[in-house]
Structure 1
Amino acid sequence: MTQPLVYKFGGASIKDAKAIQRIAQLLKNNWVNNLVIVVSAAGKTTDRLEELIALSFEGKYFDGPLFELLDFHLDLCKGLFEDDHPIFIRVENHFAHLRRSLENSAIKENQDFFYDQIIGYGELISTRIFQEYLCLKGCPCLWQDARELVSTDSHAKIARVDWALTMQHCRKILIPKLETFPVVTQGFIGKDLQGNTTTLGREGSDFTAAIMGVSLGASSVTIWKDVAGILNGDPDLFPDAVKFEYLDFEEAAEMTYYGASVIHPKTIKPLSKHGIPLHVKSFFNPTTAGTVIGAFGQAPRIPITIIKKKLTLIELKIRDLSMLGGFHFDYIYDVADKINAEIQFIQGAAAHINIIINPLSMEDDQIIKAFQDIFQVKVTRNLKLVTVKNPSLSEIEHYRRFDNELLLEQRSPDLIQWLFED
């Protein structure tokens, strides 16, 4: 078999019937047997499921939002299929399973574990609809449960991939199927050794595409977006943003680390290790060139501005001055890992350490308790982190105007970061 191709489509690409029809035509024009199609939940389904999880865990009424989500998916199907198509029964069966899971008190002892058992229904349902529609339009393909492919540990909400087992499963299960038909599978979800559903982190479908690409030795991975490629800034904020024709793996990895939202942060590393190029293209204009990420060496030094909002600053002050200067970074990262906090920025001095983390569902007192063995702790939320790679004088002067809102600054020869009140 020739090397597989991996395509990934996010929720925006299948948000309604018209969008699904557009993607189906795109695929029909690029149809080959050795194609793995990774699909996210439709539209804002994941957000709605998170609301259902919160309601159920708190013992509150969730029937209304549940039926609204069911109606959304049935309306999606009505725009694609005849009334007697079996997809309607499939979707209703999925929602019956979802309801039973939401009512299952046995899995509610741990909120994060409960989250993982529920949240993947969005992908399971969307891929059923998508696969059935592709078959209807003359693109025969197979549906595959990603949990049979992606093996992980049991770390709730951000599971770690067991690469050896995952590669074994992908090759054993997918390669025979790809010799005859393309395969549609889910992003974001996996399974631990106990058979429980796990998740790879919010927006983790890009990472799933990379996992499939590496496991199968794909010739390339393509992420289809509603943008023309990767830009050096958010076009809503920077109208003159420039699209990269190509990016080196290292440059792209740094962009995702600092918060660029076009690609999930974990996507680049495995592709880089195995030399598999990543294409970012527009599903609105599939014939136009997007951005290719690969082993290109030093990229042009174009300023890149990345803005992340709703971040939390944790200010840590050493309790015992006899421990001054130890920095305790191992301790900080261990605590952050235990509370599922993703550190975006860390700044250390003799008696103080500041860390900035992604939004966290924990209350302030819970965060304080997690670090208080060694530190006095202060928590400040709803902050904005601006990162500029390869900064020019114009970027520095622009952000210096906001000194009255500036909380922290950190800089190196090719990077500046500012933390602002938002």
Structure 2
Amino acid sequence: MIQPLVYKFGGASIKDAKAIKNIAALLKKRWTNGLVMVISAAGDTTDRLENLIDLALQQKSFDKELIQLLDFHEDICRGLFQPGHGIFARVDNQFAQLRRTLENLAIKEDSDFFYDQVIGYGELISTRIVQEYLCESGLACLWQDARELVRTDSQTKMAKVDWALTMQYCRRALFPKLEKYPVVTQGFIGTDLLGNTTTLGREGSDFTAAIMGVSLGASAVTIWKDVAGILNGDPDIFPDAVKFEYLDFEEAAEMTYYGAKVIHPKTIKPLAKHGIPLYVKSFVNPDAPGTVIGSFGQAPRIPITIFKSQLTLIELRILDLSMIGSFHFEMIYEVAKKLNWRIQLVQASAAHISILINDIPVTAEQLAKPFREIFRVKSKAGLKMITVKNPTDAERTHYRKVAENLLLEQDSPELIQWVYEEYSPEA
């Protein structure tokens, strides 16, 4: 039986006709049966679809924006295919379906469900275009609807994968095809047991690649990016950022948890569990080695700086002093789980608890309500956090220069985190 190999291409790698031609050239050198290509929506399509969803929910006209998005995809097609090619009809048909979905009043009552039914069209359309162009270029491959493979629960916007069913469907559908042809499929989307489209969270195509890799027992998963690999800091802020040749799964998982954007946070865990190496390589310079993530044990202790924004700090002070020392952590994490909060940091003293979460679209009163009976509650949104793993004295000194803006600090030998209202890297 063939052992599959999974490649994932993000929106930047297929943002226009020239980019898709570059991907085809990259693949031509690496073409093999058993290859599964997980592909995102082209360019900023997902952002534009979110705008269409907002307009539709507000019952405003979205004709102009929809036509602009259609023109964007047809322009890509015109750069790849001769006039009259069947792809133009396919794209038009997908946009006709998208319009009908946007106009479907029956599914607008639940805005999050409506979101899931619309947002995946970006991937469905982009994969049709890429698959057709690869075939046109002599790279025969098959198109596969990921909703027939990835089975999930019915949670909106962040569905949980049913791993047993997903493995069963992936193997049954893909192994016979992969013996003869590579397969192109979508990231980000799945299906629940009722047949409704679900999504795995923004930027979830990386996670889809991991799902495919684990389900098929892949030899490796490669994420193709516009960067040389994983760096120890944002190169726009740190021109001398160092690329990791290799990273241990644990180190990479911590980086994604604290906000590193190179890999989706859920990608690492399933690959680590099954011992499948993850490569992060550049589609701009595909022959360069990139970074490999695997079971390497202790990696070199290089300082890693991660910036994260759009955070909310919730401060809880105990009302009944007889309860000092009862931190109620179980209650806090139950609330976070119920309301889908992503906790970034928790700090506690005898009478005070600070919780840092990703910003969510609720009011301060809605944030406070679950805690009112036990705590006095304050919250502050729109904050930023700097995380430094393996810090040296240089990092400690540099970031302390902006201490006047500091709201919270957490310090240990292996990790320092600062939460700020504002931060300027030049400070």
State whether TM-score is above 0.5: yes
1:55 maps to 55
Report the secondary structure of 2:2's partner residue.
coil
- Say yes or no: does 1:178 pair with 2:178: yes
- Offset of residue 28 of structure 1: 1.0
- What does residue range 95-244 of structure 1 map to in structure 2 within 5 Å? 95-244=95-244
What is the CA deviation profile of residues 167-203 of structure 1, one whole-angstrom value per residue up to 9, with x for unaligned ones?
0000000000000100000001111111111111110
Partner of 1:407: 407
Cα distance change of structure 1 residues 394 and 114 upon mapping to structure 2, 3 Å threshold: same
Amino acid at match of 1:122: G
Residue of structure 2 equivalent to 1:344: 344
User: Take 1:195 and 1:70, find their aligned partners in 2: how far apart are those partners?
Assistant: 27
Structural mapping, 1:315-334, within 5 Å = 315-334=315-334
Measure the CA separation in 1 of the matches of 2:416 and 2:129: 45
Q: C-alpha deviations, 1:92-125, integer Å up to 9, x for none?
A: 1111111111111211222211111111111111
Deviation per CA, 1:16-43, whole angstroms, max 9, x where unpaired? 1100110011011110010000000000
CA displacement at 1:322 relative to structure 2: 4.3
Which residue of the partner structure matches residue 307 of structure 2? Answer: 307
Distance 1:378 1:62 in 2: 39
What does 1:352-371 align with in structure 2 at a 5 Å threshold?
352-371=352-371
Amino acid at match of 2:132: E
Amino acid at match of 2:96: A
Secondary structure of 2:21 counterpart: helix
Structure-2 separation of matches of 1:27 and 1:81: 19
**Match of 1:400, as an amino acid?**
R
Secondary structure in 1 aligned to 2:38? strand
User: What is the number of equivalent residue pairs in this alignment?
Assistant: 422
2:229 matched to 1:263?
A: no
| Worse-superposed segment, 343-352 or 157-166 | 343-352
Change (3 A) 1:181 1:367: same
- Distance in 2, Cα, partners of 1:395 & 1:314: 27
Partner of 1:278: 278
Q: What's the TM-score once normalised by structure 1's chain length?
A: 0.97
For the aligned residue pairs, the C-alpha RMSD in angstroms reads 1.3
The SS at the match of 1:411 is strand
What is the distance in 2 between the residues matched to 1:203 and 1:289? 24
Q: Secondary structure of 1:382's match?
A: strand
> Separation in 1 of the partners of 2:45 and 2:350?
46
Segment drifting more, 344-353 vs 381-390: 344-353
SS at match of 2:114: helix
Q: Which piece of structure 1 moves more, 307-316 or 122-131?
A: 307-316
SS at match of 2:307: strand
Q: Bigger shift: 373-382 or 174-183?
A: 373-382
Q: Distance in 2 between matches of 1:371 and 1:75?
A: 52
Note the C-alpha offset of 1:309: 1.3
Instruction: Tell me the SS of whatever aligns to 1:299.
Output: coil
**Residues 369, 67 of structure 1: alpha-carbon distance in 2 compared, 3 angstrom cutoff:** farther
Residue matched to 2:425: none
Q: Bigger shift: 42-51 or 348-357?
A: 348-357
Q: TM-score normalised to the size of structure 2?
A: 0.96
TM-superposed deviation, 1:58: 1.9
Amino acid at match of 2:45: T
Counterpart Cα distance in 1 of 2:124 and 2:378: 41
Cα distance in 2 for partners of 1:375, 1:86 equals: 63
Give 1:355 shift. 1.4
1:373 CA drift (Å): 4.7
Write the distance in 2 (CA, Å) between the matches of 1:296 and 1:241: 22
SS of equivalent to 1:101: helix
The match for 2:20 is 20
Query: CA 1:366–1:58 in 2, change beyond 3 Å: closer, same or farther?
Result: farther
Task: Give, in whole Å, the separation in 2 of the partners of 1:217 and 1:129.
Answer: 28
SS, match of residue 247 in structure 1:
strand
SS of residue paired to 1:269: helix
Question: What code does the residue aligned with 1:405 have?
Answer: N
- Please give the secondary structure, in 1, of the residue aligned with 2:52: helix
* In 2: Cα distance, 1:38 partner to 1:325 partner: 49
Q: What are the superposed Cα offsets for residues 25-73 of structure 1, whole Å, 9 maximum, x if unpaired?
A: 1011110010000000000011111111111112222222111111111
Matched, 1:81 2:81: yes
- Structure-2 separation of matches of 1:112 and 1:371: 26
SS in 1 for 2:81: coil
Distance across 1 between alignment mates of 2:320 and 2:406: 29
Q: What CA deviation, in whole Å up to 9, does each residue of 1:333-371 have, x standing for no partner?
A: 222233322111111222222111223223333323344
**Residues 240-299 of structure 1, C-alpha deviation per residue, up to 9 Å, x if partnerless?**
110000001111111111111000011011000100000000000000100000001100
One-letter identity of the residue aligned with 2:377: V
In the alignment, the residues of structure 2 paired with residue 291 and residue 185 of structure 1 have an alpha-carbon distance, to the nearest angstrom, of 24
- CA–CA distance in 1 between the matches of 2:51 and 2:374? 35
Give the residue type in structure 1 aligned to 2:214: V
Deviates more, 1:109-118 or 1:290-299: 109-118
Unmatched runs of 5 consecutive residues or more in structure 2: 423-427
Aligned to 2:393: 393
Give the direction of change, closer, same or farther, for the CA distance of 1:333–1:109 in structure 2 (3 Å limit).
Answer: farther
Which blocks of at least 5 consecutive residues in structure 1 are unaligned? none
- One-letter identity of the residue aligned with 1:13: S
Residues 58-91 of structure 1: CA distance to partner in whole angstroms, max 9, x if unpaired?
A: 2222222111111111111111111101111111
Counterpart residue type for residue 361 of structure 1? P
Q: Do structure 1's residue 46 and structure 2's residue 41 form an aligned pair?
A: no
CA distance in 1, matches of 2:133, 2:370: 48
The separation in 2 between residues aligned to 1:349 and 1:104, in whole angstroms, is 51
**Against the structure 1 CA distance between its residues 389 and 92, is the aligned structure 2 distance closer, same or farther, given a 3 Å change threshold?**
same
Percent identity for Structure 1 against Structure 2: 72
Say if 2:33 is the partner of 1:33.
yes
